[in-house]
Each structure stands twice: as C-alpha cells, then as structure tokens.
Amino acid sequence: MFSLSSFGLAFLALGGVVSSASIPYNSPVSRNGLARRQGCTHGPDDRGCWSDGFDIDTDVYESWPNTGRVVEKTLTVTNVTCNPDGGPAKFCQLINGQYPGPTIEANWGDTLRITVVNKLRINGTSFHWHGIRQLGSNEQDGVNGVTECPIAPNEQKVYEFQATQYGTSWYHSHHSNQYGEGVVGTMIINGPATANYDEDLGVLPLTDWYYKPVFELLWSAMRVAGGPPPSQNVLVNGTMVDGNGKGKYQKLNVQKGKTYRLRFVNTAVDHLFHVSMDGHPFTVIGVDFVSVKPYNTSDLAIAIGQRYDVVFTADKDVGNYWLRVNSGGGACGQAAIYGGAPNNPATVVGGILSYEGAPTANPNSTGITTNVTCIDETFSPHKVIPVPSDTFAAVVEQLSVGITPANSPIVNWLITGAGLNASSMNVDWEKPTLDYVRDQNSSFPTELNVIELPSINQWAFWVIRSAIPVPHPIHVHGHDFWIIGTGTSAATIPTGPGGLDFTNPMRRDVATLPAGGWLLLAFPTDNPGAWLMHCLTKGTHIAWHASQGLSLQFLERKDEIISSIGDLEGEYDRTCASWKDYWNMPSREGVDEDSGLRQINNPPVPGKQRIGGGVKV
C-alpha cells in the first residue's frame, strides 16, 4: 500500500526530484520551483530578504544557509536561592546564576556549540533545545533516558547542532522537574520575516511561579484529587510584582513612531496565558519556528512551549501602557495573583510598555478583557506545504482502532487511563534508547512506549484524543507537524479526509489538544532518530498527565540512526560512563523519587530504590 512514498510523490509533482535527500542544500531553486532572491539586503524595509539564495520563501525543511559560523556558550547550572518577584526566597536551580538563563542568539544556518556544566550536588541534568530539528544529530536532543544519560554532578557536556530553522525558541532541562525550578532560557535564531519592523525588542518568556519547590509540589499534586495546585505568581522575563507590591514589572522601552518586533515564549510548568497590550494590537508574523501570513489580533493565547513573534507600532500618545498576561481560566491553570479571576483589578499581571518621554509611573491605561479560553490560535503558514490526502485515505479506516500496532503510520492514542496499552512511559537513565539502537536490540521494555516508524519519507498520521476535560499541549521532538484537523468533541473525530485541511495546514511543534477533543497531526518520516511525543507540562501537572500514559517515543528509521549521527563514542559514551559511576556510588546522596514520568515512591525514600529515572514530560 505504501510502496511509493507519498513524500516522494509530492516532490515529483512539484519540483521534479525524487526525495528530499537529493536536493542540495544550496540549490538555487526551492521546493515550489521559485528561484530565490539574490542581491537583496535584510533590513527594516525588507525583512523578507535574508542572504543570497535564502529568503522568506525558502523551504526550511529542505535548505538553509551553511554559514560555517559557530556560536559558543557555556551554561552552568547551580543550586542557589531566588525570589524573582520579591516574594519569599526558595531554593532554585539557575543557569549562570540568572533567571531566566541567558538568551542564545544565532543566525539561521549557524552551528551552536554549547557546554552545559552541572554544578548541582544531588541532581543530574540534560538540556533540550526546543524545536531544533536535529537532522542527523538525534544524540544532541538532550532527552535523558532516550538520547543520552544525564550529566552527573560536577560533569559537563558539549552539545553541537545546526539551526536549520529560524525564529524564537527556548531551551530547558529535561531532567525530572528541573525546569520548573529555573533551568530554562530562550533562543533567538535570526532570519527573514513576513512583515517589516525597525527594531527587535527580544524575547519575553512567560511562566507560572511557585513559592514551594516544584519537586515538592509534585508529591502533593499526586495525592490531591482534582488537579494541580495553583501557582503563586506569573513572571514576565523573570520579574513581576508580588501580591504585596514588592518586585518590579518588566519594562519595554519604545520610541513613538517606531515599529517593533517582540517574541513571546510560554515556559510555564502548568499555565496557558493570554497576552495583550493596551492600545497596541499585535501583528503575528511567526508561530513556533514557522513564518506565518501576518494577521492582527489584540489577544494571543499561548500554551506551554509555544512561541509567537509579533510586530506592533508605537503610534499612541507618549505614555505608559499595560502589557497584560492573563489566565485562560481554571482548566488551563490558575495563579493566586489573579485573585480568582482572569483579570485581577487589584494587581495587573504583566509588564509595562513605556514610551520615551513618559513619566516614571505605572500605566493608567485600560485594556481588553481577556478571552477566557484554552484553545490555540489559528493561522496560515507563509510557506505553503500541502499534505497528500491520498495516503490518509488509504489508512483512514484504522482511525477507529484503539492503539494501533507498532509500524502503523497511524496511531490512535486514547488517553483515558490507557496510553500505550495502559503503559505510562518510563525510561532508564542508565540505558537510553540509543543504546538499544546501537546494540540492534529490539526487546524494548513495554514501559519505554516505543513505536517504530520504519518507512522512509512516509507521512505518519496521528490521532490524539482527550477523553478528559483538561487541555494538553502536545510537543513532538525532531519535527514540525502539520495540523490536519482538530476538534473539541470526540463526536467529530473524522472517519475520512472530508473536512480536514490538507492544502495549507497549520504547522508548528506544540499544539493544544482541546479538553475532551482531538488533534490530527502529520509529519514525514524524514529524520532518523528516537524522538519524544509528549504532553509538555512539567512539575506539578505532570503527575496527572504521565500517569495517564501521555508520552511515547517513536523510533524513526531505526536502521539509519547510528549512521546519520556518525557514532556515539565521545560525549555520549563519556557522559553515560560518568553518570553510571555517580548513580551507583554507594554514598550517593538524594533519593530516587520519580522517573520524571511517574511517581515511584511516595513519600520519597533515601537511597536507590529502583533502576532508572527519566524524562519529564
């Protein structure tokens, strides 16, 4: 049925070539057959231009500039105390002593070489570069238990990968609950854009903030029926005022008449946010790592892991205006600072847009009342890449089956209590999936939740449905996915291609599975590797999701993984050897409390209770 890959067919129809592998990266012709622009200059009046042969029309899955430039950075994780909103101090785990960690900035096509140093006493760490495709570099994906062993205390590891896409993203620890404690930072990959602007203001990461350690909250969340605990506050770029007026607001300084680019990232462990700016609507130009046809909105819903790049013009009276960061309502997270309502009249949650020449004072501007929803934005990618509907039709009858057998291009993942054959994912920190791949060992323990995708350049379709009234942000590693359809009721799950979007589907790397609804995702198997597909909520929320099996790994083109990487000697083997030494040391402090995916001992008990550990999903 799938002897001729549909991905190949798409190329044949459009570009006259057979597979993605045969298109040279510096080809003067992009997938849609258009010659790329030469000789233009990227700047305020021509943001669509980038460099010779590369512009906003370039198909980023097929080509990117090989700049040869290497951006180097060292990120050191330490155990300190912090109180970013002026509230009570707690132990936190920070990168280079700051929250959030430093922004990594590079140009499209640059290589990033990042050294991660673990200075924690009793925790490993591993760093994931969210949204980076890691084509041919699966072992740099930073998922301990899947693509690496954790980095042991007092050890370090060098990650190296190329930025083949551009836009805004974030990086974070994938070790247990760590990112909720502060092990998180942002990334800017400069490239072309679909609208012009004068200046780039940079990234504003948004997060929920807890006064208790997230490690501790995980345990209480497990015991309480009815959902995760509320956060105490919300941080905008690592700062906010607290309920007592301590702390400070993040300020955005602008000049009247100029147009600005601003990049939002939701780095929370639990909350979805709505963002607006009084008197200053946004023009959205980028969603995750995908450039989009510009659209205007005064309210943006941003789920965990999602990014929105916007432009706006400072065209109002010189003054101060509130940037508002509000809640989507109880189902997608509550912070005490909101005082029980999405818009708290007592304390504005957010930041300040401040014009040059305005007095130093909090704004008195009024703004929209946030729409209380837990649903994603809708948009159209600038670069149209259709999905062939014929392969979908060929397998559509499998949609009604529960979890389909391994090797199927369609996976129906029923979340209620079942997951993959009722198995919630768990991994072994000491034996990552790449060990199995290298050993050619296919005896995966059930709890690794492995689904094999052996076909080459085959579109894989996934139906994910939620039978519970809570939304889940679903993230896929190693791929952007195409959202063929989504709905808020199981009754509307499609049984055929009718009503689905194959023409210009939304494309991104995190999408919200609506409460009680479904998502239909597709991506081509063009990137050999062991990749996670998971619910991107960590810390307190994870327990609920993970215990429902909300995570799996797909093993894409297993036989090609090791050759695509080169080999695993070097950083991979060295990190595993030092982790095993650390983890099996009789005098090791700390507890083996959770796999990062599900709770093991409650309350946690000292010493090594079981093998393994895990990724946090």
Q: Which residues bind ligand NAG (CB under 6 A)?
A: 79, 91, 120-123, 201-202, 204, 213, 215, 237, 250, 252, 283, 294-299, 319-320, 358-359, 364, 368, 371, 405-406, 420-421, 439, 441, 443, 445-446, 590-593
Nearer to ligand NAG, 204 or 414 (CB): 204
331: buried, middle or exposed (CB in 10 Å: 19+, 13-18, 0-12)?
middle
Cα-based angle 112, 117, 121 (whole degrees, multiple of 5): 155
Cα-based angle 462, 551, 169 (whole degrees, multiple of 5): 85
Nearer to ligand NAG, 36 or 175 (CB): 175
* Smallest distance, ligand NAG to C-beta of residue 10, A: 29
Amino acid making up residue 70 = V
Token pair for residue 489?
């009721």
Buried b / exposed e across 381-400, counting CB within 10 Å, b at 16+? bbbebebbbebbeebbebbe
Distance CA 285, CA 431 (A): 41
* Smallest distance, ligand NAG to C-beta of residue 593, A: 5
- Whether 151 contacts 126, CB under 8 Å: yes
* Smallest distance, ligand NAG to C-beta of residue 431, A: 6
* Smallest distance, ligand NAG to C-beta of residue 459, A: 21
- Pairing of β 199-209 and β 259-266: parallel
* Smallest distance, ligand NAG to C-beta of residue 364, A: 4
* Smallest distance, ligand NAG to C-beta of residue 159, A: 21
Nearer to ligand NAG, 54 or 127 (CB): 127
Nearer to ligand NAG, 146 or 204 (CB): 204
Backbone angles phi, psi at 274, to 5 degrees: -110, 130
Distance CA 505, CA 448 (A): 31
Nearer to ligand NAG, 12 or 122 (CB): 122
* Smallest distance, ligand NAG to C-beta of residue 272, A: 14
Token pair for residue 73?
């950075």
* Smallest distance, ligand NAG to C-beta of residue 420, A: 5
- In the DSSP assignment, the letter for residue 191 is -
* Smallest distance, ligand NAG to C-beta of residue 568, A: 15
* Smallest distance, ligand NAG to C-beta of residue 78, A: 9
| DSSP SS3 for 480 | coil
Amino acid making up residue 271 = H
The two most distant CA atoms of the chain are separated, in Å, by 69
- In the DSSP assignment, the letter for residue 195 is S
Backbone angles phi, psi at 396, to 5 degrees: -65, -25
Nearer to ligand NAG, 395 or 406 (CB): 406
* Smallest distance, ligand NAG to C-beta of residue 86, A: 15
Nearer to ligand NAG, 54 or 531 (CB): 531
Nearer to ligand NAG, 96 or 111 (CB): 96
Nearer to ligand NAG, 263 or 383 (CB): 263
Nearer to ligand NAG, 20 or 123 (CB): 123
> For every residue of 189-240, which 3-state class applies, written as one string?
EECCCCCCCCEEEEEEEEEEECCCCHHHHHHHHHHCCCCCCCECEEEECCEC
* Smallest distance, ligand NAG to C-beta of residue 603, A: 11
Nearer to ligand NAG, 111 or 423 (CB): 423
Within 300-449, strands assigned E span 300-302, 307-313, 320-327, 350-355, 410-414
Of 445, 405, 411, the C-alpha closest to 426 is 445
- Whether 125 contacts 145, CB under 8 Å: no
* Smallest distance, ligand NAG to C-beta of residue 244, A: 22
- Whether 312 contacts 284, CB under 8 Å: no
Nearer to ligand NAG, 390 or 581 (CB): 581
Q: Which residue reads 């930041």 in tokens?
A: 351
* Smallest distance, ligand NAG to C-beta of residue 163, A: 20
| DSSP SS3 for 181 | helix
Listed in sequence order, the residues at least 6 apart from 480 whose beta carbon sits closer than 8 Å to its beta carbon are 61, 131, 133, 165, 288, 289, 290, 507, 508, 509, 523
Distance CA 301, CA 398 (A): 33
* 214 to 136, 179, 485: CA distances (angstroms): 34, 9, 34
- Whether 535 contacts 598, CB under 8 Å: no
Nearest-CB residue to ligand NAG? 590
Nearer to ligand NAG, 23 or 262 (CB): 262
Provide the β-strand partners of residue 169. 187
Distance CA 614, CA 617 (A): 9
* Smallest distance, ligand NAG to C-beta of residue 122, A: 4
Distance CA 145, CA 475 (A): 17
Nearer to ligand NAG, 184 or 204 (CB): 204
Nearer to ligand NAG, 20 or 178 (CB): 178
Q: How many CA atoms lie within 13 A of 493 on its CB side?
A: 25
* Smallest distance, ligand NAG to C-beta of residue 360, A: 10
Q: How many CA atoms lie within 13 A of 201 on its CB side?
A: 24
* H or E segment to which residue 292 belongs: strand 290-297
Nearer to ligand NAG, 242 or 594 (CB): 594
